[in-house]
Structure 1
Amino acid sequence: MPNRLRTRLPRGYLRMRSGALRLLGFALSVSVLALASLVAIPAMIAASGDAAWGSIALGQVVGTVGGVAVGYGWGWFGPARVAQGGPTQRRQEYVESMVARGVLAPPVSLIAAIVACSISSNAPSFAAVGAVSATCMGLSASWYFVGMSKPYTMLLLDTLPRAAGTAFGILLMREGHSAVMGPLGMLVGMSVGVALSSAWILWETKRAGAGGCERHGITGILVANRQGIASALGSATYAAAPLAIVSVVAPGIQPAFALADRVKGLVVVATVPATTVLQGWVPRATGIARRRRADAALLSAAAFALLLGVGTFLAAPDLIKWLGAGAISLSWDVILLMSACVAVMFFQSVLERVALATFERLRVAVIGVACGSIIGLPLAGVLAHKLGTAGAMGGVLAGLLVCVTVELVTYRLDVGRTVLLRAGDKKGQPVHDDDKKRPHIQTLGVSNSTQEPEGYSRRL
């Protein structure tokens, strides 16, 4: 756009245009990876059958939890540090993350493979490969590009190599190789993406004038960067546990439940850009205005969740027919329960990552997930044994509703006092007792505080 025309345009329009372009860039990455994953499913089923694909899906679910452990919370607090830091700080952050995640990846991958093998009743080797592939996704550098607000660089260096690896695996399967080529192709694409991203990050920070990195021991790095891991790991574990439980108590319905679980996950992933926009909008306000923005975000999320659930219910039959390659089908009651899970999970994501994270109440998410797990997971196992796929999905939905109820009620009761505190800081009102002890928390490029509390040090 010419500079003369740019100066004549309202500043709000330029901000909106820039934000829309960034949203589009991040949405492109999500869409490309989701499409690659969707295309890979019928290819794997056609290559080795639904039972083999069910084992791979089980391994990927286990590996998703492993990937969260390998990522060690950098997807939560990393973007904010990158956004706030200079070239040296950005370089230091990324190098430390690669050191920590590189050390964690081998043992966590081994544990994930063993767990996947032990709970897979069909083709345990396929489950192990799926687990290792998904675990290594925790090495991704995507969080760095989120912090730098460079969606198109992420698309080029991280997303496209991963999609190309998946496409290569699909090509091999169509040439007669087994379904294991699917997760192996994803792993190769992931490795290429990490290499390209790392090379670019080191080059970019050096060009920007970054100095040398301080050397810290692995224990010190892990201790200093533990924020956000509890809530992230808890949510990932709850998302992965139902498929593992179904595989043990009702292995006959495992392929069908795995397909429903995969469709549910893909739809939820497709909503990530919307959550990201809210994460950047709500924390910019202060005091009462921040609470109003959070409430508006939750109200908007509730309305969108209803539309999302209806849309999923209407679109799911054709999607399932295509993904199942004619070998797997789902009844209408399963699709209805799955759509309800999608709606609740989207609202839960906004509640946790936007409302609770903004007001530094992520501990509430941990409590909510624990309550939901205590009720939902045993219920999913019992109902899966008695009612099949619909029963398992119903148990998952019950746990999600319990989790959201606990989080929402606690948010309404607890955050109101915090808003009064922060609105009255300039008037000399007393500090909330919990705020004196709460560690500094940063999530997805949004800083909840401009200063770190006394006694807290991220660096050793």
Structure 2
Amino acid sequence: MKTVIKRLAGFAGFPLLSAVVPLFVMPILARLAGEQGWSSISSGLAIGIFSSTVIVFGWNIDGPVRLARTPRSAERLVIYGESLSSRLVLCAVVFPITTLLAGVISAPSHRLEAILIALASASGGLSPAWYFIGTGNPRLLGFVDTIPRVVASVASIPLLLVTEQIWTYAVMQLAATAVTLWFFFQAIPGAQGNLPSIVWSRKAIQQNLRSQMAAAGLNLAGNAYGSTPVPIATATVSGTAASNFASGDQLYRYALFPVSVLANAFQSWTLEVAGEAGRRRQLAAITAHTILGIVGGVLLASLGPLVSGLMFGPNLATNQLTAIFYGLALCFLSIAAPLQRNLLIPNGRGAYVFWVTVTAAATGVTTMLVFGQLNFVEGIAFGMAASEALVLILLLPASIKTFRAN
């Protein structure tokens, strides 16, 4: 446990900065956008997050597992080169589509800002964060990936306050992505000399796109219902109600941070050993995620309206029912996370996880669309909770069987 505690501290320390800074930036964006524009900005963020998932493809799922099982640094660089090649190709396809979607959904008065916010979020798909997670190196995760983004966010605060132009934040985030990629090549020994031939190999690009299809499908299906609530609300519900809903959704995104940190700290640790020691580590991860899910879900459900009102302004506060549904979603997602990442996928059950995720995505998105058309915005949050509950229910039997077989 000493190792996992150190990794937990490391993976929480630097990323905590990247989670705290938006707590100051997003309220500024919300107040600048106003009641009519906040849902458009939030939709741009959601579309960008989904686009980043398309760009990262399946590397944040398969990548850390492959790296944790590959001790040699030269082989790890080959894996990273393979990922970079496919992601650069996907950027050329995804960025124009992202621009179109953000422009169509957003209000005309906030179209440019929504598009730039979406592109800035989409560029996160080029982040090397998964590489440092797989290699168990929180220090480089902080210096290479987190600090440039934090600096960009902090620098954008005075720009936003002085210019009152939302696009300045998006431009700073795009610049941070470029700096992060440059830092990676400077920080990893041998990266500058070994990667170019891999990155620009046409054969490698085609091969890696094909090999990542299963993991990418899982990734996209999982994010299909995770990124759609605010765009659906913006497209179907009145502007003010959609903006209030967007505040609850943003609060939910912040609440996912501890889940992500815990999952990153446990993933490589649980996969490093097998047998009885491995089962003990799996149980430790599942227990920690269950406790976090219950506590976090209760806090989000009970304090969501108060906290969102303080953050985004009283006129943009989410309502209690939306907060309750998002609290349930957080609880179910946290409990299911180690079952997918540490147990089922590493043991060859990725196809089953994919089937479960697609089923949940279809159920959740359909539910959200129905309630959106009925102008019942809280029902969109219910669709999110229903999706996460379905994932957990369907994963449990396979997880128990796989755990016993190990």
1:381 aligns with 2:366: no
The correspondence of residues 265-284 of structure 1 with structure 2, limited to 5 A, is 265-284=253-272
Q: Residue 179 of structure 1 corresponds to which residue in structure 2? A: 166
**Structure 2: distance between partners of 1:58 and 1:403:** 24
Q: Residue 85 of structure 2 corresponds to which residue in structure 1? A: 99
**Structure 2: distance between partners of 1:211 and 1:280:** 24
1:376-435 CA-partner distances (Å, limit 9, x unpaired): 2222222234463322212221222122212223434x536xx54x6xxxxxxxxxxxxx
Of 165, 180, 200, the match for 1:193: 180
Aligned partners of 1:167 and 1:185 also within 8 Å? no
Which AA in structure 1 matches 2:132?
A: F
The correspondence of residues 214-233 of structure 1 with structure 2, limited to 5 A, is 216-217=201-202, 218-226=205-213, 228-233=215-220
Superposed displacement of residue 162, structure 1: 0.7
1:39 aligns with 2:24: yes
Select between 124-133 and 292-301 the one with higher mean Cα deviation.
292-301
Q: Residue 333 of structure 2 corresponds to which residue in structure 1? A: 345
The correspondence of residues 39-438 of structure 1 with structure 2, limited to 5 A, is 39-83=24-68, 84-122=70-108, 123-201=110-188, 204-205=189-190, 216-217=201-202, 218-226=205-213, 228-252=215-239, 253-287=241-275, 290=278, 294=282, 297-386=285-374, 388-412=376-400, 415=402, 419-420=404-405
Superposed displacement of residue 284, structure 1: 4.2
SS at match of 1:408: helix
Select between 328-337 and 284-293 the one with higher mean Cα deviation.
284-293
Aligned partners of 2:343 and 2:402 also within 8 Å? no
1:358-386 CA-partner distances (Å, limit 9, x unpaired): 32212222222222223222222222344
User: Number of residues paired by the alignment?
Assistant: 400
Aligned partners of 2:326 and 2:384 also within 8 Å? no
Which AA in structure 1 matches 2:360?
A: G
Superposed displacement of residue 226, structure 1: 4.1
Superposed displacement of residue 335, structure 1: 1.8
**Structure 2: distance between partners of 1:396 and 1:281:** 30
SS at match of 2:143: helix
Superposed displacement of residue 67, structure 1: 0.7
1:333-365 CA-partner distances (Å, limit 9, x unpaired): 222222112111211222211232232212222
Superposed displacement of residue 136, structure 1: 0.6
Which AA in structure 2 matches 1:192?
A: V
Q: Which has the larger radius of gyration?
A: 1
Aligned partners of 2:214 and 2:351 also within 8 Å? no
Aligned partners of 1:33 and 1:159 also within 8 Å? yes
1:33-75 CA-partner distances (Å, limit 9, x unpaired): 1112221111112323243332121112111121111112222
Superposed displacement of residue 312, structure 1: 2.5
**Structure 2: distance between partners of 1:211 and 1:115:** 33
Q: Residue 15 of structure 2 corresponds to which residue in structure 1? A: 30
**Structure 2: distance between partners of 1:206 and 1:394:** 46
**Structure 2: distance between partners of 1:292 and 1:147:** 20
Against the structure 1 CA distance between its residues 191 and 210, is the aligned structure 2 distance closer, same or farther, given a 3 Å change threshold?
Answer: closer
Superposed displacement of residue 184, structure 1: 2.1
Q: Residue 449 of structure 1 corresponds to which residue in structure 2? A: none
Aligned partners of 1:368 and 1:404 also within 8 Å? no
Which AA in structure 1 matches 2:248?
A: A
Which AA in structure 2 matches 1:366?
A: F
Select between 122-131 and 213-222 the one with higher mean Cα deviation.
213-222
**Structure 1: distance between partners of 2:135 and 2:294:** 33
Superposed displacement of residue 318, structure 1: 3.8
Select between 399-408 and 210-219 the one with higher mean Cα deviation.
210-219
Give the structure with the larger helix fraction. Answer: 2
**Structure 1: distance between partners of 2:130 and 2:245:** 31
Which AA in structure 2 matches 1:98?
A: L
Aligned partners of 1:161 and 1:192 also within 8 Å? yes
**Structure 2: distance between partners of 1:327 and 1:183:** 24
**Structure 2: distance between partners of 1:317 and 1:61:** 21
Which AA in structure 2 matches 1:32?
A: L
**Structure 2: distance between partners of 1:179 and 1:138:** 22
Unaligned runs of 5+ in 2: none
The percentage of counterpart residues that share the same residue type is: 21
Aligned partners of 1:62 and 1:115 also within 8 Å? yes
**Structure 1: distance between partners of 2:194 and 2:372:** 55
Which AA in structure 2 matches 1:164?
A: V
1:191-222 CA-partner distances (Å, limit 9, x unpaired): 21221122222xx1269x97995573122332
Aligned partners of 1:92 and 1:213 also within 8 Å? no
**Structure 1: distance between partners of 2:40 and 2:78:** 39
Superposed displacement of residue 268, structure 1: 1.0
Query: TM-score when scaled to structure 1?
Result: 0.79
Superposed displacement of residue 282, structure 1: 3.5
Aligned partners of 2:49 and 2:121 also within 8 Å? yes
Aligned partners of 2:77 and 2:194 also within 8 Å? yes
Which AA in structure 2 matches 1:393?
A: A
Superposed displacement of residue 161, structure 1: 0.7
RMSD between aligned alpha carbons?
2.7
SS at match of 2:27: helix
**Structure 2: distance between partners of 1:411 and 1:385:** 36
